[in-house]
Structure 1
């Protein structure tokens, strides 16, 4: 799961993204879904020409386990 912001604001975007990621991680923990955040390079994401907006920030890398219900 990739996380993007759709504004170029230096102030709003980082705060909103931080809140979003904290809620995402808390929800995954509560549901027993393992994973971690990682910033991926454009090559790792398979992107050649990235537009200015939406702006990529971080990805959630999930790990499959037997504990996660299908």
Structure 2
């Protein structure tokens, strides 16, 4: 093949595809790391909440409110 502009420098279509693929992979890596951090934080907070709830005494049952009866009007 004879050297030409596309052989030596690559086409603009290929360059844009390579760049978009790099961007896609970078974004996917960032999103995956954020998801992992979010799940780790959620698990840690869940454990702390469960520990806190286990240390608290069970709530006392609430007494039911007595209903007021009204006289029927005639």
TM-score, normalisation: structure 2? 0.33
- Structure index of larger Rg: 2
Higher helix proportion: 2
TM-score, normalisation: structure 1? 0.35
Higher strand proportion: 1
Q: Highest relative contact order (Cα 8 Å, sep 6+), 1 or 2?
A: 1
